[in-house]
């Protein structure tokens, strides 16, 4: 299981080239195979993680450590403990798997229609991540506020909570040295701002691409080592969505004012970086009547569906000829 998991994660990481910003989707296709194998495992089925399994506590309120190691849980005397931490993959690791599948699916897009009409698997993973992470964050607040050794009030302030989360994350990283995933090591604010809200935006069928770009940039949390790689991936996805939107527009309109383009999609950086992210469209920036205008054309390196089908038929024809010669 770990082989498929870490191979997929590494493939997604190397699919994002930093300089210049570029998505190498051949790696995303390979990652998709590994991720779908993982998601087909019965013990990673979302139904198992959606059903909250509880165990009644003793008088002390303490629970035994999970079998795979980790910290002892806390609960009020006579209360209940969530047993999902005893699964073969912890709830945070399962959330991470969902996040990686969602990101990889978005990085693999080659048509805006695939973003609008997503697969049932994508929808279920997105819904699970948003709901389960929100639930986990609420449970963490309750746990931090009710620990017997805590000197904090049962009603903790958000600055206190963020500090506690960062201390807890730092301690975990020093002991485990696994990775810097925001889902495992991030603070409450980082998880809420960078993942939960992003999932809610992606889940909103009425949200346009420009609105998605605007809302994401206005709600993301401050950059840290734990969120830097995630933000880089999401920025690549947003650039790709802008590019695919322009491809759809280019079927009827082949030019657009650079000023209007920046306003429409809230682009602060280089226009060139949007087109470098994936080979979808050719472009040229011209000066017309004193204004910069973006002139679009179909990428010559991208084959039409008719040509792809013709190539496949030709391959089949040649394969049949070889079989006939062999006999």
Domain layout of the chain by residue ranges? 2-40+90-255
DSSP three-state, residue 177: coil
Q: What was the pLDDT predicted at 103?
A: 94
Q: What is the pLDDT of residue 53?
A: 45
Band of residue 317 on the pLDDT scale cut at 50, 70, 90: low
Res 321: pLDDT: 57
- The average confidence (pLDDT) of the chain is 75
- Percentage of the chain exceeding pLDDT 70: 64
Structure confidence at residue 102 as a pLDDT band (50, 70, 90): very high
- Other beta carbons within 10 Å of 240: 23
- Please give the angle made by the CA atoms of 206, 212 and 215, to the nearest 5 degrees: 115
Q: Identify the top-confidence range among 62-71, 143-152, 288-297.
A: 288-297
Asked if residue 72 has pLDDT above 90, the reply is no
Q: What is the pLDDT of residues 162-195, one digit of tens each?
A: 555 554 444 443 333 234 467 776 777 778 778 8
List the end-to-end C-alpha distance of the chain, in Å, as a whole number.
43
Distance of CA 35 to the CA centre of its chain: 13
Cβ contact 201:215 at 8 Å? yes
For 199-232, how does the pLDDT look when each residue is reduced to its tens digit (9 = 90+)? 989 988 888 899 998 888 777 655 554 567 788 8
pLDDT-derived band at 237 (thresholds 50, 70, 90) equals very high
pLDDT surpassing 60 at residue 52: no
Confidence at residue 92, expressed as pLDDT on a 0 to 100 scale: 83
Q: Which residue has the higher pLDDT, 171 or 93?
A: 93
Question: Which has the closest alpha carbon to 238: 109, 141, 100, 78?
Answer: 109
Both tokens assigned to 313: 């038929």
Does the predicted model carry a pTM greater than 0.75? no
Q: Is the pLDDT of residue 84 over 50?
A: no
């Amino acid at each position: 299981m770990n082989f498929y998991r870490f191979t997929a994660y590494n493939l997604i990481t190397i699919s994002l080239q930093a300089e210049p910003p570029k998505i190498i989707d051949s790696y995303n296709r390979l990652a998709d195979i590994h991720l779908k194998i993982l998601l087909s495992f019965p013990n990673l089925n979302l139904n198992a993680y959606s059903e909250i399994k509880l165990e009644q506590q003793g008088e002390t309120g303490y629970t035994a450590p999970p079998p795979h190691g980790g910290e002892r849980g806390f609960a009020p005397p006579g209360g209940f403990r969530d047993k999902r931490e005893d699964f073969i993959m912890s709830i945070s690791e399962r959330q991470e798997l969902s996040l990686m599948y969602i990101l990889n699916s978005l990085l693999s897009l080659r048509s805006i229609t695939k973003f609008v009409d997503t697969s049932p698997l994508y929808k279920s993973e997105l819904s699970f991540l948003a709901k389960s992470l929100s639930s986990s964050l609420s449970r963490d607040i309750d746990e931090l506020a009710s620990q017997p050794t805590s000197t904090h009030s049962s009603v903790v302030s958000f600055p206190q909570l963020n500090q506690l989360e960062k201390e807890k994350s730092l301690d975990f990283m020093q002991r485990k040295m696994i990775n810097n995933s925001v889902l495992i090591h991030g603070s409450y604010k980082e998880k809420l701002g960078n993942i939960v809200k992003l999932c809610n935006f992606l889940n909103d069928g009425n949200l346009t691409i420009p609105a998605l770009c605007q809302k994401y940039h206005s709600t993301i949390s401050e950059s840290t080592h734990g969120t830097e790689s995630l933000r880089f991936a999401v920025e690549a996805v947003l650039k790709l969505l802008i590019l695919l939107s322009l491809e759809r527009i280019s079927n009827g309109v082949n030019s657009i004012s650079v000023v209007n383009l920046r306003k429409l999609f809230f682009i602060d950086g280089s226009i060139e970086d949007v087109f470098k992210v994936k080979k979808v469209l050719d472009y040229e920036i011209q000066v017309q009547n004193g204004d910069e205008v973006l002139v679009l054309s179909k990428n010559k390196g991208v084959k039409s569906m008719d040509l792809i089908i013709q190539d496949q038929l030709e391959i089949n024809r040649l394969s049949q000829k070889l079989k006939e010669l062999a006999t």
